[in-house]
A and B are shown apart, each in its own frame.
Chain A
Amino acid sequence: MVGIRSCGAYIPYYRLSRSEMARTWAGPALPGERAVANEDEDSITMAEEAAFDCTKGIDSAEIDGLFFASTTSPYKEKQCSTLIATVLDLDPEIRTADFAHCLRAGTTALRAAMDAVKAGSAKNVVVTAADCRLGFPYSTQEQALGDGAASLLISDSDVAVDIEDCYSISDELTDVWRTDEDRFVREWEDRWVITHGYSKNVVRAATAIMNRNRLSAKDFAKAVIYGPDPRSHGALVRRLGFEQTQVQDTLFTTVGNTGAPMALMMLVAALEEAKPGDRMLLASYGDGADAFILKATEKVEKLGDRRGVKGHLASKAMLPGYGKYLSFRHLVELPPQAGLREAGSATAMWRTKNWVLSCHASKCNRCGLITYPVQRVCYGCQSKDDFKEVNLSREQGTLFTYSLDNLAAAGINPPIVQSVVSFEGGARFYCMMTDCNPEQVKVEMTLEMTLRRIHEGANFHNYFWKCRPLRGE
């Protein structure tokens, strides 16, 4: 049976109170808070974080496919799944694909992965979805949206959740969109969007798949259904006959509407509570609808060792103001960063991707010293080309020394926490620390690595590793 072998999620460290956003504009506030990607994050880095969470403890050699889904891909032309696969240190001889443009892209990628595994052309496919959408400043949408990611590993064995059936509808309508030149999400009148877009399609897909399987609302432990806002979502689940206790929270008041990953994030949250035998209805919306019937196996209780939704939700810091959000998303023009060097080179990055993206260090075969980045001549014993590459991306290190650098922060979120991380085996890693409270940084604190977007040199996105305090500890 094809199903979900593992899952993971990612929610950025920063949250912004919606009342803080409203206060700036002296306008009305939606309840709760929304998640805000840090200035060094985008859909690639968030999807990578979720995929890391999902594949923890899984041999990367087993994975033979990676699908990325997002409506906010950092590239219009260039595949992102290849980059994420490289960061996950996957074998190059695998299939990769990007699913884009549609709020349903996450479940579309899930279905494609499922079909590939079912057809026997792949055994373990990572699906990872992320979004970082922008509402017009001062709009309700700006408060309602949130940033996040979710990832599932679709496999033909060892599954924690069986995928029993799926059903898709394609429906052409221009209800929520961005043209190729738009930055902000546009919408038609919401009464039509909800009635003829969201409700009609989701109800139709959910009803059809339940009927086909001779199931009704009472047969499900959880209804995991995308919802653009709590009111429309509440009305829809009632219409499908679900009781409140069966309804999976949309994370609206804690994260916001995350778009393509939303239904998958809700599913990850549902699986954190699921018991063997639980049946779940998963449905998502966007230019039609996808619906799935899922059933937890006895392995669902062994999915525990990951941060998932719960762990990431609990680990957070409130942004001090709406201005930070504006600057993180480059919605206002900041003073030019005098003296900042942002050199880019596609060839230099390509040549060094084993250490830039895959986070490889060299371990000397003769003296055993581990050195980052990869060194052809060993620093310890000068032996030449006699090493094997080891991956530091999932290792924890300790902070050897640091500085709170205001000069380096010119134009961005000051201060830059310059850090030297010390790893077991000898490697030292110089990088910036992200997602931290500078006042709580201490020598010898435990750190983990996280891939971030560093700069835009040579007119493309340059990614590199940063360190951060362990999330949620």
Chain B
Amino acid sequence: MESIKDKVAIIGMGCCKFGENWDQGAEDMIIEAAYEAYEDAGIEPKDIEAAWVGTLYSGTAGVCLAEPLKLPRIPVTRVENFCATGHEAMRNAAFAVACGMYDIVLACGFEKLKDTGAGGLGIGRGVHPVLEGRRTAPGTFAFIATRYFHTYGLSPEEGKRTIAKIAVKNHHNGSLSPKAHFQREVTLEQVINAPFIAWPLGLFDCCPTTDGAAAAIITRADLAKKFRPDPVYLKGIGLAVNPMLPHFEPGFDWTGFEMNRAAASQAYEQAGIRDPRREINVASVHDCFTITEMIDYEDLGFSPKGRAKEDIDAGTFTLEGELPVNSDGGLKAFGHPIGASGIRMTYEVYKQLQGKAGPRQIENVQLGLSHTLGGPPQVACVAIFGNSLG
């Protein structure tokens, strides 16, 4: 099995302003993201040879990308893999380029969530009429908080205070991100005292419901420098799908996810990373809820199992910390337009690797990671990027 390391590069990226974009349809956000990416890469729309588009439920088929961008009868494929959908678009685009079939391709992800008339992602999941009758996203991720606190001996108050620090950190980082949905700071007390959405998770433990789109232009690594002096190389990308809904999975411990660990280990192996905490300089991880980010620290190998609290308390993952996580504010500040998120997270890593992250810029960034965890959750994707070959 060959590694994808250093075979493809990102030469342009775009990201629309995330938010409750009442006055924009999906097509408007796609156009904003794609044209920013074209300009960033210094290419024309006609240079695109094939495209992949990711959306969970805001569009169907390749037409949802071909129509707004008027892509002229080239191959366009829609992909979907829950919250890893944006990553999945990039992953498939990268493989198509790596095999030599195309030289320049577009990967775009989007979601228009604010046309439903209700906040959140709805109540009830799955194909079967009653099996997941009133399942909600916060209700499910609250399972992790309840069980994690129970397993590692945190009282609900201690647990809440610990994950609240993640919300405070990400809101702070969001205040430095002009494209974020939320751009204001919150205090620890505000987070802790917010009304419960799904106990133990309160309002500020949940990311908002948001519209957005993001895009990436991918080419072969050996062609990348023809387009720009600072391309970003894909070092590894792993994807893992769990074979059972965790809710019914025998033996599942509800304190972390095997598919997170599997996707990370695939990506780390391809990238040749042995000690992720030391080797990775910036990470955009899936923080649909604050507790999700906490278990991500452990699943991705940043913190030892059961000990993320020590690192949270020490400020390890703040902008000034040892390994800044969600330097742009994460899903907490950007919201989670599902199909867009994996690419939006990569957009931050890309900017950090190019030294173009403005007030959020971290020093000496050479390797960055983006990660999504999707569905019940049942899908995880980890991608590693670097700013030099080798």
Contacts and interface: CB of A to CB of B under 8 A. Distances in A.
A34 interface: no
B134 A432 contact: yes
Contacts, number: 151
Interface string B183-213: 0000000000001111111000000000000
Contacts of A390: none
Contacts of B144: 401
Contacts of A337: 123
Contact of A443 (B140, B147, B244, B251): B147
Interface stretch (A71-79, A167-175, A372-380): A372-380
Contacts of B252: 428
Interface string A400-420: 111111111110000110101
Nearest to B251: A426
Per DSSP, chain B at the interface is loop
A97 interface: no
A401 B122 CA distance: 22
Interface string A362-378: 00000001111101000
B248 A406 contact: no
Interface string B100-129: 000000000000000011111111110111
Contacts of B119: 339
A429 interface: yes
A406 B117 CA distance: 18
A406 B202 CA distance: 10
A344 B129 contact: yes
Contacts of B150: 401, 443
Given A344-B129, A430-B245, A405 B250 contact: no
Interface in B231-249: 243-245, 247-249
A373 B139 CA distance: 21
A426 B250 contact: yes
B247 A405 contact: no
B247 A428 contact: yes
A101 interface: no
A352 interface: yes
Contacts of B138: 403, 405, 407
A416 B250 contact: no
A407 B124 contact: no
Contacts of A430: 132, 135, 245, 247-248
A176 to B, nearest CB: 36
A52 interface: no
A358 to B, nearest CB: 14
Interface string B5-29: 0000000000000000000000000
A29 B290 CA distance: 51
Given A356-B130, A407-B136, A407-B138, A400 B124 contact: no
Contacts of A432: 133-134
B335 to A, nearest CB: 16
B139 A454 contact: no
A348 interface: yes
B146 interface: yes
A437 interface: no
B129 A343 contact: yes
A213 interface: no
A402 B142 CA distance: 7
A89 to B, nearest CB: 18
B1 interface: no
A461 to B, nearest CB: 11
A443 B133 CA distance: 22
A342 interface: yes
Given A339-B116, A349-B129, A443-B146, A403 B199 contact: yes
Contacts of B195: 406
B142 A341 contact: no
A190 to B, nearest CB: 43
A420 B250 contact: no
A92 interface: no
B39 to A, nearest CB: 37
Given A356-B130, A416-B139, A418-B135, A379 B196 contact: no
Given A339-B123, A405-B139, A454-B130, 7 more contacts: A337-B123, A379-B243, A401-B146, A406-B197, A408-B135, A418-B142, A462-B129
Q: Which 7 A-B pairs have the closest CB atoms?
A: A430-B247, A403-B142, A338-B118, A341-B124, A426-B250, A404-B199, A405-B139
29 contacts: A338-B117, A339-B118, A340-B124, A341-B122, A344-B129, A348-B128, A356-B130, A356-B131, A373-B131, A400-B147, A402-B146, A403-B138, A403-B143, A404-B198, A405-B138, A407-B197, A408-B123, A408-B136, A416-B134, A418-B198, A428-B248, A428-B252, A429-B248, A430-B247, A443-B146, A455-B133, A462-B129, A463-B130, A464-B133
Interface of A: 337-345, 348-349, 352, 356, 369-373, 375, 379-380, 400-410, 415-416, 418, 420, 426-430, 432, 443, 454-455, 457-458, 462-464
